[in-house]
C-alpha cells in the first residue's frame, strides 16, 4: 500500500510539473475580454475594477474582440463599493466606443509606428533561421544612418509593445528596427512550437542585428521587455555580433527564469518541489518529451545574477517593485553585483512592463539620457 501511494504521488508530481512547464512554454493565442465598459460618459468611461484597471497611468482597451481600440488615461474616480473605476478617454483609434466587454492593453498604442505615432515606417523582412521574419524600420530624423536600436518584445506580446519607446529613440537620433521572432503570430514557429525562454529565440535577434548591420548599422542599441530582455542577454552571450552592441536597455526583464518559475509555482499554489521538477524536465533529455520541447531548455543558463561577471555591456535596467509577473528581486541583485555596468531605475505602482504607462516623462527622460550617453 505504501509503495503504491508513493508511486501515485510521484506520478502526480511528474504530471503537475509537466503541465506547469507546458503552460510556461506554450504561446497563448486566446485573448479573452478581461473587463467591461459599463457606461460611456463623453470623454470618460466607467469600467469594472480589475487589478489592471485600478492602476494609474495611460493604457488602452481592445474593443469588439480586437477589432476596435480606445486609448484611456488616468483614473478620475473609484467606487470601492460598486467595484468600478472611471477613467479618461484620450482617443478612439478604431471602431466604436460603447458598453460591453473589453480587453486591457498595456501597450497604450495600436497599429504601426506610422499609424500610432506619426513616425515614418518601412515594412521589411529579414532572413531568419526558420524563414522570413517581418519587421518595422523607423528611420532616424536624418535617415537610416549608422546607429540602430533593435527593440525586442516580450513573451506573448506583439511588436506593438515597443511603440512606447520609439519616440524617445527617434528623438535621440536612433533608427529603430522592431523584429518578430519564432512563435509570434503569423511568423514561422519553432520546431516544437514552444517558447525556449530566449535560448533559441536569440538566433532570430541575431538575424535582425545582421539585417541592421547589412543596412548600414555600425552601432547597435538593444532594447528588451520581459522575455525580450532574456533574449537580449542570450544574444550578448552567444553571438559574435554582440561586438557591435554599444549599450542595452531592459524593461521588466527576466534576469533569472528560475526565480520567475518559482514565483509562478507559488502563485498557482503548486506543491513544493514541483517548480524545481519542472526546471529539470525542461533541461534534461529525459524530460523533453514530457514538456514537448525540441531542444533542452537549460534554465540555469538564464540566471544572470549568478552569471553577472560574464556581462560586458552598459545596461539601463528599468523594473517596478510592484511587477506581478516578473519579480524585481533578480534585477536588484544584478544591479548590486555590477554597479560598474548597470544603471538601475526602480519604479513603484507599475505592473509588469508598464513603467512607461505610469510615468512616461520619467521613462523617456532616463532612456533618452542613457541612449545619448549623457
User: Helix, strand, coil shares of the chain as percentages rounded to 5?
Assistant: 35, 25, 35
Provide φ and ψ at 225, rounded to 5°.
-110, 135
Tell me the domain boundaries of the chain.
35-105, 113-256+303-372
Three-state DSSP class for residue 145: coil
Question: For residue 117, how many C-alpha atoms fall within 13 Å in the half-sphere facing its CB?
Answer: 20
Report field, pTM of the whole predicted structure over 0.85? yes
Q: Which of 4-18, 54-68, 269-283 ranks highest by mean pLDDT?
A: 54-68
CA–CA distance, 59 with 89 (Å, rounded to integer): 10
CA–CA distance, 221 with 165 (Å, rounded to integer): 13
Instruction: Say which CATH class 113-256+303-372 falls into.
Output: alpha beta
Nearest C-alpha neighbor of 152 from the set 86, 214, 209:
209
- For the chain, how many residues are written? 374
pLDDT tens-place string over residues 205-245: 999 999 999 999 999 999 999 999 999 999 999 999 999 99
Nearest C-alpha neighbor of 203 from the set 186, 219, 179:
179
Fold of 35-105: Thrombin, subunit H (2.40.10)
* C-alpha 106 chain-centroid distance: 11
DSSP state of 228: H
User: Over 50: is that where the pLDDT of 6 sits?
Assistant: no
C-alpha cell at position 314: 552598459
The mean predicted confidence, pLDDT, of the chain is 94
C-alpha cell at position 78: 473609484
Nearest C-alpha neighbor of 323 from the set 313, 315, 336, 332:
332
Amino acid at each position: 500500500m505504501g509503495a503504491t501511494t508513493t508511486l501515485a504521488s510521484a506520478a502526480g508530481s511528474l504530471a503537475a510539473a509537466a503541465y506547469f512547464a507546458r503552460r510556461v512554454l506554450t504561446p497563448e493565442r486566446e485573448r479573452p475580454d478581461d473587463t467591461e465598459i459599463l457606461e460611456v460618459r463623453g470623454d470618460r468611461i466607467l469600467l469594472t475594477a480589475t487589478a489592471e484597471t485600478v492602476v494609474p497611468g495611460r493604457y488602452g482597451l481592445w474593443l469588439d474582440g480586437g477589432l476596435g481600440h480606445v486609448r484611456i488615461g488616468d483614473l478620475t474616480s473609484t467606487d470601492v463599493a460598486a467595484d468600478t473605476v472611471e477613467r479618461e478617454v484620450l482617443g478612439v483609434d478604431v471602431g466604436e466606443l460603447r458598453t460591453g466587454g473589453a480587453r486591457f492593453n498595456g501597450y497604450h498604442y495600436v497599429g504601426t509606428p506610422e499609424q500610432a505615432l506619426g513616425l515614418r515606417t518601412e515594412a521589411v523582412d529579414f532572413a531568419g533561421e526558420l524563414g522570413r521574419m517581418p519587421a518595422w524600420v523607423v528611420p532616424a530624423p536624418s535617415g537610416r544612418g549608422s546607429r540602430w536600436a533593435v527593440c525586442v518584445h516580450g513573451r506573448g506580446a506583439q511588436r506593438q509593445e515597443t511603440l512606447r519607446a520609439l519616440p524617445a529613440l527617434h528623438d535621440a537620433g536612433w533608427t529603430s528596427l522592431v523584429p518578430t521572432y519564432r512563435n509570434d503570430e503569423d511568423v514561422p514557429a519553432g520546431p516544437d512550437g514552444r517558447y525556449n525562454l530566449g535560448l533559441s529565440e536569440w538566433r532570430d535577434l541575431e538575424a535582425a542585428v545582421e539585417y541592421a548591420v547589412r543596412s548600414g548599422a555600425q552601432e547597435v542599441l538593444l532594447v528588451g521587455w520581459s522575455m525580450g530582455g532574456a533574449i537580449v542577454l542570450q544574444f550578448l552571450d552567444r553571438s559574435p555580433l554582440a561586438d557591435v552592441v554599444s549599450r542595452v536597455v531592459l524593461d521588466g526583464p527576466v534576469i533569472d527564469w528560475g526565480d520567475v518559475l518559482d514565483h509562478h509555482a507559488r502563485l498557482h499554489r503548486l506543491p513544493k518541489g514541483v517548480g524545481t521538477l519542472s526546471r529539470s524536465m525542461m533541461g534534461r533529455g529525459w524530460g523533453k518529451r514530457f514538456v514537448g520541447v525540441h531542444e533542452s531548455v537549460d534554465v540555469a543558463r538564464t540566471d544572470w545574477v549568478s552569471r553577472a561577471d560574464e556581462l560586458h555591456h552598459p545596461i539601463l535596467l528599468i523594473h517596478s517593485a510592484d511587477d506581478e509577473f516578473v519579480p524585481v528581486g533578480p534585477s536588484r541583485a544584478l544591479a548590486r553585483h555590477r554597479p560598474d555596468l548597470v544603471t538601475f531605475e526602480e519604479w513603484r505602482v507599475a505592473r509588469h512592463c508598464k513603467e512607461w504607462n505610469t510615468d512616461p516623462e520619467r521613462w523617456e527622460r532616463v532612456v533618452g539620457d542613457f541612449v545619448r550617453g549623457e
